[in-house]
Every structure is written in C-alpha cells, then in structure tokens.
Amino acid sequence: MSAAEEVVTEAAAVEAVPKRAMTLGYGTSLVVLAALILTPLFVKNFIIFQMTMLLIYGLAVLALNILTGGSGQFSLGQSAFYAVGAYTSAILMEHAGMNYALTLPVAGLICFGFGFLFGQPALRLSGVYLALATFALATAMPQLLKLGYFEHWTGGVQGLVVTKPDAPFGLPMSQDMWLYYFTLAITIAIYIASVNLLRSRSGRAFMAIRDNEIAASAMGVDVALYKTLAFGVSAGITGVAGGLGAIAVQFVAPDGYTITLAISLFLGMVVGGVGWLPGSIVGSAFIIFVPNIAEGISKGLSGAVFGVLLFLVIFLVPHGARQVAIIAQQLIGKLKKN
C-alpha cells in the first residue's frame, strides 16, 4: 500500500486521497448522526420527505464515490443502475406483492450483477472512453425501460405507481417519518460497510488501482477483478438507493431516470469532494436544494443561476466539501494550540 502511494503520478485522473482522510472523526460523526435522528421530530412531513430524498441521493453519490474516488473509474451512467434498482423494487412490490423491505436486497443484488457485468467491457476503457460508455448506458436505459416487450412488467411509458408502506407494529408515526428512519438505518449500515470496505484489503486494492494501475498489477493486485468488483459494489448500492427512491416517490417512470439524474449525481460527488465519503451527503444536499434556491432567485433564468452557483462553489473550493472540512480542521487545530 505504502509503495503504491509513493508512485503517484500526475497522470492519475483522480487524485489520491489517503484512506484515513476518507471518513469523519468520531465526534463529528456523532453530532451529524444526532442531527439526522432528531431533526424529523421537529419539522413538517414535507421536510422529512426532503430529508429522505437527501439520504437516498446521498447513498447514490456515495456509490459513485466508491467507484471514482475509490477505484478511479469514472461513470456517467449511475442513473441506469438507479433505474434498475427502482424498477426492481417497484415490480416486486406491485406485481409480486413482496414486502418493500425485502425488495431492497434483491434490487441491490440484481444491480450488483448488472454492474459487475458492465464492468467487464469497461475494463478495456478508461478516461473519456469510459465516460462515453457509461453515458451510453444512461442514455439507453429509459429507452429500454419503455420497450414494448417489457411493458407488462414495467408499465411502459406510463410507469408504475407504488404503494407507500405504513409504519410497522402500530408505531405511532407517519408514513413519511417511518420511511425516513427506515432509510436512515439503511444509509448508516451502508456507510459503515463502505468505510470498512475501503479500509479492507479490497479497498486498498481499489486505491492502488486508482493511483497507478500498472504499479498495482505489478504488486500482484488482480486489476480486472477489483475494477469490476468496484463497479458491482457501486451499482449495488445505487440499486438500493433506487429502490428506496421508488418507495419514497411512490412512482417509477422512464422520465425519472434520464441522463440528467446521472449528471446530478456526478455533480453531487464533485461538490461533496471526490473520494471523501461523508461529502456524499453534502453533495446530495447541493443537488436537491440548490436548484430550489436558483429557482427562488429567478424563474426565467433558474438554469443560469444554478450554473453560476455551481461555478462559485468550484471556484471557492475546487476539491468540494472535503476542502472545507480540511480547512475547518486546521482552524480548529490552530485554536487548540492557542
């Protein structure tokens, strides 16, 4: 591992993030966690719904972060995996009457397989070529979803309406609140698993590949296996996020999973900081709330305002929220010294 870190060349598409810098300290984690647990008790259902979406997109951004920040592969096709997850959950719930919670592992597994398979041809591609291949996947997905042959299952162009689950065991909470805590539990579980994955042998292999593929293979890392594995894991997590998204929105349709979604997730990753897992939630907040802010400033020019805000962010902090965190840490360090 240390050997791999030393031979970092300028040519690496994604800069190296040391693995310790990929997470938050315990204190900060607990504060964030407490905020996530307590806030819903004091806000309207609509805000709870927004927070649920925040977590869901956060998961999807996290998945992309594992792929790009972890293994150095770039994907503009995450919306395709998200769509497959969403449709898997929706179809299982509405056609097979399966419990919503059980559909999520299925969605995750199917997407893992799908991502793993897609990772095979992607092995031969890198940089812009991989970007195009994944971009192609994202463009193709809505068209596949509305294909006449699958219409019986997918509802074709009309999509599928999904029933929202009630809180179980007669818990006295609204559907929204229950779904939020359900999502929160899953998000925390996946976050912890992801952190551990990146700290494990596999995670070190991912990062070795990210930093220098040839050096990694010279050290005996099975590059092909780990690259496809990264794709699979990323797709699997995105699939779970998609399934949760379908349940929260109560509707799946091809128009919900266009390339725009893939681009949003990508922006979320950049704003949150590539390779910094906690940044995923910041990135997710950016893609959910900044369009609303932009629209509040000007309806006619909402796109332009959004673009300007995005430029501001990347000018001020080209490395995303991670940079903010680092600066904050340094400040706190200085204060302590004084």
Residues 222-251 touching other proteins, rule: CB under 8 A, are 245, 249-251
CB of 65 to other proteins, least distance (A): 11
Binding residues for other proteins, total number by CB under 8 A: 84
Interface stretch with other proteins, choices 23-31, 194-202, 228-236, 293-301 (CB under 8 A): 293-301
**What is the phi/psi pair of residue 252, to 5°?**
-125, 140
User: Whole-angstrom Cα distance, residue 246 to residue 253?
Assistant: 10
Interaction residues for other proteins, span 254-273 (CB under 8 A): 254-256, 258, 260-261, 263, 266-267, 269-271
Question: 7: which 2 tokens?
Answer: 């031979």
Mark residue 275 as left, alpha or beta (left: phi above 0; alpha: psi -120 to 50; beta: remaining): left
| Token output for 11 | 């040519």
- Exactly one of 214, 225, 327, 332 binds other proteins (CB under 8 A); that residue is 214
Question: Which positions from 58 through 77 interact with other proteins, judged by CB under 8 A?
Answer: 68, 74
What CA–CA distance (Å, rounded) separates 18 from 32?
22
* Member of 53, 83, 107, 240 binding other proteins (CB under 8 A): 53
Closest CA to 273 of 10, 22, 8: 22
Pick from 71, 73, 212, 280: which binds other proteins (CB under 8 A)?
Answer: 212
**CA-CA distance, 231 to 223, in Å (whole number)?**
12
- Rounded to whole angstroms, how far apart are CA atoms 281 and 191? 11
- Single out the segment in contact with other proteins by CB under 8 A; choices: 96-104, 180-188, 189-197, 211-219: 211-219
What is the rounded distance in angstroms from the CA atom of residue 74 to the CA atom of residue 127?
Answer: 7
Q: Please name the residue that has the structure tokens 């959950």.
A: 89
Please report whether residue 99 would count as binding other proteins according to CB under 8 A: no
Q: Which is nearer to other proteins, 247 or 281 (CB)?
A: 247
> Which of 59, 90, 241, 253: binder of other proteins (CB under 8 A)?
253
* Best CA proximity match to 178, nearest among 244, 115, 95: 244
Query: 259-275 burial by CB neighbour count: b if 16+ within 10 A, else e?
Result: bebbbbbbbbbbbbbbb
Which range binds other proteins by CB under 8 A, 34-42, 93-101, 166-174, 296-304?
296-304
Q: Restricting to residues 270-289, name those near other proteins by CB under 8 A.
A: 270-271, 274, 288
**Considering only residues 42, 46, 172, 335, which one is a binding residue for other proteins as defined by CB under 8 A?**
46
The pattern of x and - marking residues 303 through 322 that bind other proteins according to CB under 8 A reads xxxxxx-xx--xx--xxx--
Query: Of 215, 219, 324, 326, which lies in the binding site for other proteins, with binding defined by CB under 8 A?
Result: 215
Window 131-170: contact mask with other proteins (x via CB under 8 A): xxx-xx--xx--xx-xxxx------xxxx-x---------
Tokens of 66: 């594992």
